[in-house]
Amino acid sequence: MTASNSNQHRHRAPSHMIFWQAKLSTCCFSRAGLSSARLLVSHGVDVVVLEAVDRVGGRTLTVHPPDDDPSVPKFGWADLGASYVGPSQNHILRLCKELGLGTYLCSDKQDFIHYSKGRQFCYQTTWPNLWWSNPLAYLEVVYMCRLMDNMSKEIPLDKPWKAPRAKEWDKLTVQDFLSRHCWTKDGVEFLLALCSNNNTADGHEMSLLYYLWYMCQGGGLLQPLECERRRPGTQNRGWLTTERVHLNQPVVKINYSTKGVCVQTLDGTEFTGTHLILALPPPLQMKIHFDPPLSSHRYGLLQRSPMGLVLKCIIFFNHPFWAEKGYNGLVTCNDDIEVVGLAAEDFKPGVQLAGMICFMYGDQALRMANKTEEERKKKVCQTLSNFFKTHAALKPVHYMDKIWSQDTYVGGGYTCYYPPGVLSKYGPAIRESIGGCIFLAGSETALQWTGYMSGAVEAGERAAREVLYSCGKISSSDVYVEEPEFVEVPIQPLEQSLLEQFIPSIGEDDRPILLGVDNTLVLHVLPSGKGSVFNSNAVQSLHPYICNELRHRRWETFWIESQTNPADVYSKLALQRLLTEEAETANEFDTTTIPTSRFDLLLLAADSSRPLRLSLLGPSLLLLCTKVRCESIKAAVGGVATNRSPDRWSPSLLYSAEALVKNEEGPKDSPKQREETRASFGAHFFIEE
């Protein structure tokens, strides 16, 4: 990849040099290299910026309508790369003000839309309104986000590999974690879609430790949802004078030593200097030949840092049909059939045309990247038509898109991500300088807002201060500077209802799950992977459908007689009290006899002649069976859990307690009955052949 010596030209560059080859990503865009150069220039240092292509901006890309093509409508401008800023993104907000780049508010009035499984759900709250479609999924999503937010607070921003549970979390993918802790399919699908929207990679690809660290850098899992300002024309050339920037100079070789750095570009041109700042994503650094070679830790990190997959398109209409229907244009989607994961309005001040920005992530982007632009346009229009329930979306006046994974000097977006095992092993190499003369910028090295423009600016300025410290111009305490809050865009506290703040868990870690079938059988399962069955008689087997479901959740089950395990006192004493003759003959079971607060899922069976009174404030989900003997078990469960009448449940769920204990085969369901039951209950814990 090195250039031919016959075409070499050697340039004596200033004593400090910025290599700004390939930019940051679709939402973190290469402000890093220019930020470094700008700060160094302000300290009287001469710099050279090397840019691989014919423009600056990296993963920011601003497009204007051509003046000589009347067929293209006057849409003002379109940002096919990074364009959003918001509260707590203080570095980019401060820089926008310094450069005179304005922002304008995105609409947050009217209704938001969440689209799932062909259905449209409208809401004006923090969370998509999953309650009416699946209340269990709603409980689960809100709780899991709160749980992951709390987990992320254990992670040091500068050294995530030092977190107390770093190795444990780095062994899991996000999907592994959700599968182990979530009960509802809808909840898992929503959380995985949220993961893809944030990281442009699928949940089975990225480490849980990385995801928690990434979200913590942005203020928590909920904070990115609050980004509400957009800057017009994010690709801007007014950062530096043109003589400092060399376009079309992709770097292919870097020689470095204690005496300085020599950079060679593709056409053989060489630039020399005493210091170098690399401001490009880790995967693209693999395209450069380093002499001497990089350390094993550095190469290990670069080899294991894939870029995300994202395709961004903007489609223009003569009028904002979504606003006319009462929507603000923001749509989240976790429907595999549709091609758009996130859509948002792009109705700019002073521009007559109404635009809609659409993002495709992960598998969506991969599928659509191989189609023609016209095919992508039709697919996007049809998806918007489904989102907003109108044919007006099928009549665009202009369409454009950018497939970032096909850009040679970007490679994807928004940013790179780390699969399991990478961050805990190779993480220290993320910001570690090379040879004392090469310093690392780029959004991937930021401490806050990695993957965003603000992170790029922070990383670029930090790398510049490392150079200044290396030259003795500043002290070590001035390298990492905390950015003050940008007072003009204050951080707004996230408003959550009392339910959202204190919503219980459906699958909280380290809490047992208690399933009771009849007054003779209790199944006690620990989420850590251990389980036991307490029965006054030695139970030989459990219903196979329940066992299969537990195995699906990676929980093991085993059977013991109650008297053989006296260690489980905390639950066993309560069960013994519940199963005594005194309790059975009582008119009511006293709530205090069962430590319901210790359990997440409580399923109790009681004869219909004896009323059962238990507090819903104890377990997260209380399922009651009121007619056990030769009657419906799951029917009454459904009546409580989803407010459905018992006659709505399918035949296979109408087993007696005796049949469950004896492992007798019950009646079969038709496919239609199974689907109706699944739709009603909406949870993974679903008995099926």
Q: Is 222 exposed, middle or buried (0-12, 13-18, 19+ CB in 10 A)?
A: middle
Cα(622)–Cα(640) distance, rounded to whole angstroms?
8
Instruction: Using DSSP bridges, classify how beta strands 111-116 and 513-517 pair: parallel, antiparallel or unpaired.
Output: unpaired
User: Residue 652 in contact with residue 689, Cβ under 8 Å?
Assistant: yes
Neighbours of 558 (CB within 10 A): 8
Establish whether 343 is an annotated binding residue.
Answer: no
The number of angstroms, rounded, from the C-alpha of 178 to the middle of its chain's C-alpha atoms is 12
Neighbours of 688 (CB within 10 A): 13
What is the CA angle 682-548-652, rounded to 5? Answer: 60
Question: CB of 352 within 8 A of CB of 398?
Answer: no
d(CA 440, CA 32): 10
Strand residues in 353-503 grouped as ranges (E): 354-361, 398-403, 438-440
> Tokens 């009287």, residue?
44
Could you tell me if 428 and 160 are in contact, meaning their C-beta atoms sit under 8 angstroms apart?
A: no
Alpha-carbon dihedral of residues 466, 2, 426, 154, nearest 10 degrees?
50
The answer to whether 366 and 196 have CB atoms below 8 angstroms apart is: no
Q: Cα–Cα distance between 36 and 464 in angstroms, integer? A: 5
Query: Is the preceding peptide bond at 292 cis, omega within 30 degrees of 0?
Result: yes
DSSP class of 427? G
- The answer to whether the annotation marks 588 as part of a ligand binding site is no
Residue 329 token pair: 């244009």
Question: 């062909």: which residue's tokens?
Answer: 118
User: Which DSSP category does 280 fall into?
Assistant: S
Residue whose pair of structure tokens reads 């489904």 in the numeric block: 386
Taking alpha carbons only, the member of 625, 616, 649 closest to residue 139 is 616
Rg (Cα) of the chain, in Å, rounded? 29
Spatial strand order of the sheet with 521-525 comes to 531-535, 521-525, 513-517, 601-605, 621-625
> What are the structure tokens assigned to 611, written together?
């009323």
* 37 marked among binding-site residues: no
**Which two three-digit tokens encode residue 546?**
């329940």
Q: Is 169 exposed, middle or buried (0-12, 13-18, 19+ CB in 10 A)?
A: buried
* CA dist., res. 423 & res. 679, Å (int): 40
Q: Any idea which residue has 């209790």 for tokens?
A: 522
Phi, psi of 228 (to 5 degrees): -135, 0
Which of 167, 163, 119, 114 minimizes the C-alpha distance to 141?
Answer: 114
The conformation of residue 284, written as its DSSP 8-state character, comes to H
Q: How far apart are CA 239 and CA 99, in angstroms?
A: 8
Q: Who's near 498: CB < 8 A, 6+ residues apart?
A: none
From CA 441, how far away is CA 458, in angstroms rounded?
Answer: 9
Please check if 51 is assigned to a binding site.
yes
| 307 DSSP 8-state letter | B
Would the annotation count 359 as a binding residue? yes
- Look at residues 86, 156, 206, 101 and name the one whose alpha carbon lies nearest to residue 453: 86
CB atoms inside a 10 Å sphere around CB 369: 16
Question: Distance between alpha carbon 411 and the CA centroid of its chain, in Å?
Answer: 20
Do the Cβ atoms of 272 and 10 come closer than 8 Å?
A: yes
Annotated binding-site positions for FAD: 51-52, 251, 444
Annotated binding-site positions for substrate: 359
